[in-house]
Structure 1
Amino acid sequence: MSFFYLKPVIGDIPVHLLETIVTQRLGYLKVIFNDNSYAYNEYVVEGSLYDNVGHFMLCIVTILGENTGFTQFLLKAEVDLFKRRVYALSTYDLRCLAKKLLRSIRKLDNVPEFIHPLQILCQHLTIKKIAHHLCTSHIKECATHSISLNFKHCLSLVAKRQVELKNGIVSLPCGKWKEYLTHLFLTNLKSRINTTNLEPLKSDPRILELLYKLKRELFPFITRSSTGILLSNKVDTVSKFFPPCMLNLHHNLRKRHRLSHSQRFYYSLFLKDIGMPVEEAIDFWRAEYRQSPSGSHNCCHHWEKDEKKYLYGIRHMYGLEGRRKSYTSVSCQRIQSSDMSCNEGGCPFKSFDNLQVLLRQNNPSCTDTLLFKINELKRKHQYSTACILYLKSFQPNCDNLSYNLTPVKYHTVAMKCDSVEL
């Protein structure tokens, strides 16, 4: 096994040990995240069984938890850990890592797109002379050795003009090989989080219990320290990065100053999970519900009259009242399966007749060709694919999110919040 984590180990492990492995790794990553020195930890030994299990279990927690702050934390902390490990390798260890990766690649059933440049890089790293060169007084500006890669595998380096590009081929000097290996690690990690289908685990009581404990004990600390805060007076500014379903709710709220109970619940959880603290949420909803409802909305509630009810409801969503359960925003699948008799809520790609108006309102450059493709996907009931296609119209480098698309993940990609600087 290598600490690049191409494949998970197979076997049985006691639940109590699994919980220990995950919590120990999380504590270790928190130290890494804060850029502190770390002590020996038997559960995070490079390439060990515990190291592999802990990494993949945290990926599962990230996918099922659907928490933007935790996802950001995991991406940055795991990348920082990988960088520390790679830059500390001896010549022998670097060659061993490359050989292990090449063996793992040969065993893969589904080969991701980034595997080809990884193979090329590893084939060079197995050469003793080159590995020794990289591990002894090597500088970033060194160009003694180089490899040729298709430009599409080095887009970030091309964009920063850090490499030479000729006829679509990038010449990557050895001074950037370790940096590029770290980039491929991040690509692999993002791909795993965004494209792994975990539907069967959503009903596994062991996984759900572990997820509940981590959410209750660790998510609040991590999300407070790793995400920006969304202020109530900044929602209009960032709403251009909202997915169409949440953008529609935002427009309706601003226009009518009211939402139905279920749609207010969905929208509140979305704002919570993209960084709005409970105090800001109270300010946000107070400002709207102090105004009289307009248009066709016949809501009889008002903040002054029902303040205690609203305060309790908001605090309850944040896990501060009732069962103390911190709720998370709903998935696209949940929204699409909801029975919507009106256009106030729901998935626009499934149920809206005025979809074209909504999409162009947020993205004026939305072309007729794009709208035609979206309507074709809508006709085939491929609503999430249509949403991703729309997202790619202004964020073309986004990953495939079809398995685990949520409104929060859409917002994360649109804001480029999940990018990690190498």
Structure 2
Amino acid sequence: MYKGGQQPTIKGAQPKKEADVVVLQGPYPYRLSFYDRPPLYDVTIEDFETFALDRLRILAEIEASYARNRSWDELRTVTEAQCKKYDLWLSSNTARSQFIDLERKKDHLSHFVLRLAFCRSEELRRRFVKAETTLFRVRYEKDDTKELTQFLSSQDFGWEKVDPPEKATYESELRALLPNVGDKEFKDIVFYKVKWTRVPDLVAKRRVFLRRGQAFVPTTLQASIVFHAFETQLEKALERTAKGLPRLDEDTRIVPILNNLSQGFLAGVPSEWTNATPTMDGELRAEMVDGLAKKHFPMCMRNLHESLMRDHHLKHFGRLQYGLFLKVLGLSIEEAVAFWRKSFSSITDDKFNKEYKYNIRHSYGLEGKRANYPAKSCQQILLSDQPGPSDCHGCPYRHFAPDNLQTSLLTYYSNQGLTSSNLPEIMKTVKEGHYHVACTRVFEITHTSKGVEKGQGIGSGESVTHPNQYAARSRELEKPQEGGTSSDTAMVVG
């Protein structure tokens, strides 16, 4: 189905004509799509992966919005912002853009790649269908009215328009569905008949008139038929895809990508913050770390820091997780050696140089294969190197016992505004497995004094996906209040 190779040249949108409805020629005539035709062209492995990751970031934010009980207006605003950020906010046919076909090609391909990744289990299919249907609904509500009508006309929804005599026969029943509509408006409203199983949500809410297995649906509720059709069609498509998936098992290029996509979605954190540039103004010094930890670190790094200060030691995976975080934060190799040497105060210089200094230099790409290792993302922390009973690394929201997590939250963040009244909300999201949502909510609570409101996340409603992203945004919010000198420099590693 997908093969690596040279990507074909995609023609731009056809010239626009002055008309009430503009219908583009080619494979993507409409902004909306039911994705009923798979991509049959060659694509590069790079596009195969990057297009899917961009779409996955949007779907993950939709899931996070549900977990945070955002209103529909808030969810729609966040989704629109994410679509624009990742170039999946599709232009209408009347837009003066020469990249309409390219936009829609990315949308088309990314959907089918994720369909391959998420057809593997019932849970993945359920979550994918819910997120994709939500994305479709957001686009549906923002689509141009005339273009939307043209799109609906191109689909077969199995509905039958109610003729005037039949409408008159059941006028009293149909009027009861629209109690606030006047006589003139009622005459203009069109009703459609569909099998009642096509609109289960409307039946449950008693918003349709039922007769002989048919539901009479007013135009104002027509979208419910469309959304249910999209959802049902996608569910069936995923089941068909799952049956054909074993054919890909021997493809060593594609299977690892699909595994990574599905694992990230299960963890709830598919996106990775990849800004590897130092986030400090100037070089971060060893003596500044303690002050930064108490003000700007997410709980995973705060826990590692406090354990290091208490025990004067961290095990291998703890040192790796914390050391790479500090590296990206801006700690140079010289300052890193100084920081770790002072932190490991209970051992001799000879033991430190023999057993630990090499690993520090290795993480900076100065020893071994000299690779420039990035800091671990939330996805990596959640899924790899699971901590044992005496380990300090990992994600506290996932790996701590509930009582220990609540105690630690109050210990670390009570001086930043977090109180026991906040814990039920945080623990609810933890229990549901939305660990990055819990971390994001802690960020909001502890940065209320900096102007961060509930639902805002780290900016534009976005959730935390990387410890360094958390620290960078926290530091950024404080900058306007710092004036000339930051108070962080006054704190010294104990």
- Into which bin does the TM-score normalised by the smaller protein fall? 0.3 to 0.5
- Rg (Cα) greater in structure: 2
Q: Structure 2 length as normaliser, TM-score?
A: 0.40
Q: Structure 1 length as normaliser, TM-score?
A: 0.46
